[in-house]
Structure 1
Amino acid sequence: MPLYKTLIPNSQTTVKIWKIDESFDDLLKPIFLKPESLNRVLGMKSELHQRGFLSVRHLLAEFGYTDSDLFYDDNGKPHLKDGKHISITHSFTFSGVVVSENVVGIDIEKQRDKIGIIAHKFMDYENQYLNRDADDYIRKLTVVWCIKESLYKLFATPGLSFLQHTLVIPFELVDTETRAWIDYDNKKHGYDTTFLEFEGFTCAFALPIS
């Protein structure tokens, strides 16, 4: 499938989302992979992960980049050779890439009930406003997770804890945006976050407060 969705939250930032319904071979044929990337994708045991990896390379192409323009640092954070900031995500049948002039993070997750089992591992403050008995509890919980995962990706600091160092300001699903904070090493960092839902999935991305 071609590009699924494009979002432009500001003049310095673009988000692109891909729906992965092509086969591995169809995704592999049109793109060039550097040797280490080819070895990596061929070594993956799950075809779902292989297709996710390749769909991200198609998203790079949508931005005008190739696989050779992308590299990772020692913390596993992706970077672009031209100095722009990038964040990458994929979950089951969707992948996403955001490119920005500012530090940025993105996450996509499938909405599943089992996230409620681990809620205590990534939420504290948010329990004050999330209602476990509400019909939209799992959807809101997935938004919180996606936002915190986005913060984790953009901060890229060993030792950062979802539970201890991040919080998401109260929101409603109709809002499609909220503010989030990282409180780490006696410093507070604020972020504007945007979230959206599609086909049983949630996507969120975070940028520094402008």
Structure 2
Amino acid sequence: MPIYKTINSEGGTKIFVWKIEESFDELSRGLILTENSRSRLEGMKSLLHQKGFLSVRQLLKHAGYQDKDLYYNEYGKPFLNNEKHVSITHSFEFVAVLISDYDAGIDVEKNREKIITIQHRFVNTQVDSLSDEDLVKQLTVIWGAKESMYKTYPYGGLSFHDHIGIKPFLFAEGRSSGSVIFDTWKKDYEIRFEFLKEGFTLVYAIDNQAFLN
């Protein structure tokens, strides 16, 4: 099974990206699922969601983990049975898994016009700013960056609009910075992003501490 893309970044961060082209049976091969995972898989009505679920497990296997090494807290944040941080994303035919020594999150999104109509829900004009570059792509980067930072927060109640900000960026640079400020949680992040040729945007956020050590 081919890996679409592998990225090595700071803080021992590794990202594995998968483009789903296989059948359900092909994606099932070689996987040992827990009872809970089998139950979740069987409860999924969408074949694409099932294949995404299996693709995540294949990526974990590629990284040296098994399904039993992955678990979730009550807020849906994933963890590994060691000291590594993990983040997972799935959008249509793309799946990605991030594993890092530091708090980090990842998101992949399809670039779609409808994001313009919902930008008021996540763009805070007092913190975030827009340039004259492609609006759909800009908004998708902002959403993906905020989603990535959101995924590092292990509790509920976080607002994309009110508690997460991203600084201005240019497409050519492929990076920015952002922060989460909520209650006692105050953390800064390095943001990286790239546009996949299939019309998707890949964004990930890594705790700034990874760049200071």
Q: What TM-score, normalized by structure 1, do the two folds share?
A: 0.94
Structure 2 match to 1:150: 148
For structure 1, which runs of at least 5 residues remain unmatched after alignment? none
**Taking structure 1 as reference, are residues 22 and 162 closer, same or farther at Cα in structure 2, changes over 3 Å only?**
same
- What displacement does 1:159 show? 1.0
**Aligned equivalents of 1:126, 1:8: Cα separation in 2:** 33
Residue-by-residue CA offset, 1:148-198 (whole Å, 9 max, x unaligned): 000110013311100001111000111111000112126532100111111
Seen in structure 2, the aligned counterparts of structure 1 residues 25 and 207 have a Cα distance that, compared at 3 Å, is: same
SS of 1:3's partner is: coil
Q: Post-superposition shift, 1:126?
A: 7.1
1:164 corresponds to which residue?
Answer: 162
Runs of 4 or more off by more than 4 Å in structure 1? none
Is 1:181 aligned with 2:172? no
Q: 1:188 to 1:72 in 2, by over 3 A?
A: closer
Distance 1:183 1:75 in 2: 18
Matches for 1:10-159 after TM superposition, within 5 Å = 10=10, 12-125=12-125, 129-131=129-131, 134=132, 136-159=134-157
CA distance in 2, matches of 1:29, 1:63: 16
C-alpha distance 33-186 of structure 1, shift in aligned 2 (>3 A): closer
Aligned residues: 208
1:129 CA displacement? 3.2
1:77-124 Cα shifts (integer Å, max 9, x gaps):
111112211000110000000101111111111110011111000011
1:7 aligned residue: 7
Distance 1:126 1:142 in 2: 18
Q: Distance in 2 between matches of 1:187 and 1:11?
A: 20
Contact 1:85 1:103 in 2 (8 A): yes
Maintained 8 Å contact 1:125/1:167: no
Cα-Cα RMSD:
1.6
Q: CA deviation at 1:42?
A: 1.3
